[in-house]
Structure 1
Amino acid sequence: MNPSGARTRVKICGITRPEDAVAAAAAGADAIGLVFYPASPRAVSIEQAAAICAALPPFVSRVALFANAASAEIRTVLEQLPIDLLQFHGEETAAECDRYGHAYIKVARVQPGFDLDLFNCRYPGACGILADTYQSGVQGGTGATFDWSLLPQQRRKPLILAGGLNAANVAAAIRQVRPYGVDVSGGVEADKGIKDAARITEFIHEVDNVER
């Protein structure tokens, strides 16, 4: 239920196994996220990511997630994998995000006082903004929600909502925020990095039910 009236897109992030990517696609996910941040329990190697990408059917976007990564690392991933979209989770500047000539979304870690319009202005080249929960010293994957009322209804760019989403709260989140898309990781897992096909299906079912 995004502002344009189109269906809400779904990204299943933190995929570490080909079978989880296949399950996400079968359930109707629009995108999967591959984490290239070594500190994350969901981090994958290029070899793992290649196997995951090879297992995906057409029309499922492959998103590569980085947090303050070296330029050489990002270029290597882009050269070796069929990445559709970059996701920057750290303190990257607009110039650093733009330098690859590749479509990207920038993560905003939301806390009281957050100004989405100002954040949009700082990243004019971003094709979307992903709003996640702020937690000091943590680059995403907090498993916690934030105060959704901090996000304005009028936006310059597509907004993707993340942060502690699961099948129990995603419908309410969509009704209140009306995002372009939602992003989930821990909310559909059996263990960190191991997705649960039934939870993925339930999550996407809840998203789809809001549209009806």
Structure 2
Amino acid sequence: MRTRAKICGITRIQDIHAAVNAGVDAIGFVFYEPSPRYVNIELAKQLAQHIPAYVCIVGLFVNATEDEIEKVLKDVPLDVLQFHGDETAEQCRYIAQQHQRRWYKALQVKPDVEYSELISTILQYQQAGASAMLLDAWHPELKGGTGHSFDWSQFPKLDIPLILAGGLKPENIEDAIHSTHAYAVDVSGGVESAKGIKDQQLIERFMQGVQRGSAK
């Protein structure tokens, strides 16, 4: 089975076309104002019109209230909610149920994390209804988009789709997939020429690496 791929933090129409043409499975919009990849509702609405059927639209939220998420969903046809803050399993479950959306939770993997503790946390969110879990590199201040990776030997093997993020780029994606056997990979800065500005050639090279890694 080919590893799925999502490109997150898209802010321009031409980047959507580049991603779709390269064969991505999902496109992510960041609804977190401190992020350099933030898009407001109006821009996200315009961008979403250029995403064809069979390409999933994911909305990334960081400690957003239900009202804030509801305002986005009124105008932007998100397929999946990505909770990337300190949301509890119960908070994720409640918001997703209220708006009839699938969801997954991002966890930042600290260098000194106890493997058993990581597994326990993943299972907690799975039991609450998560469709997947995303594992990202830990940073004391940033919520994703750090450009850093974590120890891939810590990547667990569980009966839930696991998404690998953090420091992925065309040069290492093949090895990342081979090492972790992740269900999906999520990239943002690794295919950019500047913050929020994707590079078509980097996207194409990244997706080629996904194909090679999946074939191993």
TM-score by length of 1: 0.94
Structure 2 alignment gaps of length 5 or more: none
Taking the aligned partners of 1:116 and 1:60, their CA distance within structure 2 comes to 30
Q: Quick one: distance in 1 between partners of 2:213 and 2:123?
A: 31
Counterpart amino acid of 2:36?
A: P
Tell whether 2:68 aligns with 1:64.
no
Counterpart CA distance in 1 for 2:142 and 2:48 is 27
**How far is 1:57 from its partner?**
1.5
Is residue 130–residue 159 contact of structure 1 (8 Å, CA) maintained in 2? yes
Aligned with residue 126 of structure 1, among 127, 130, 137: 130
Q: 2:27 aligns with which of 21, 32, 44?
A: 32
For 1:162, the equivalent position in structure 2 comes to 165
Q: Measure, in 1, the Cα distance between the counterparts of 2:171 and 2:85.
A: 28
Q: Partner of 1:18 in structure 2?
A: 13
Contact 1:117 1:156 in 2 (8 A): no
CA distance in 1, matches of 2:46, 2:169: 27
- Report the aligned-residue RMSD: 1.0
> Matched residues in 1 for 2:189 and 2:148: separation?
10
| Alignment match, 2:119 | 117
Give the length in aligned residue pairs.
Answer: 206
The structural deviation recorded for 1:156 is: 2.7
Q: Which residue number corresponds to residue 3 of structure 1?
A: none
Residue among 153, 167, 178 paired with 1:149: 153
Match of 1:43?
A: 38
Q: Distance in 2 between matches of 1:156 and 1:116?
A: 14
* CA-to-aligned-CA distance 1:135-188 (integer Å, 9 cap, x gap): 112211110111111122x21310000000000001111001000000000000
Determine whether 1:84 maps to 2:79: yes
What stretches of structure 1 of length at least 5 have no aligned partner? 1-5
Give the drift of 1:87.
0.3
CA drift of 1:44 comes to: 0.1
Report how far residue 122 of structure 1 moved: 2.0
1: distance between equivalents of 2:179 and 2:192? 25
Q: CA deviation at 1:58?
A: 1.4
1-structure distance, mates of 2:38, 2:171: 26
Shift of 1:117: 2.0
Separation in 1, partners of 2:213, 2:89:
34
More helix by share: 2
The correspondence of residues 98-109 of structure 1 with structure 2, limited to 5 A, is 98-100=93-95, 101=97, 102-109=101-108
TM-score, normalization by structure 2: 0.92
Letter in 2 for 1:13: C
Identity of aligned residues (%): 47
**Alignment equivalent of 1:200, drawn from 198, 203, 215:** 203
Aligned partner of residue 165 in structure 1, secondary structure = coil
Deviation digits for residues 8-51 of structure 1 (CA, Å, limit 9, x no counterpart):
00000000011111110010000000000000000001111011
1:50 partner letter: K
Task: Write the distance in 2 (CA, Å) between the matches of 1:211 and 1:29.
Answer: 14
Counterpart residue type for residue 51 of structure 2: L
Give the letter for the 1:198 counterpart: Q
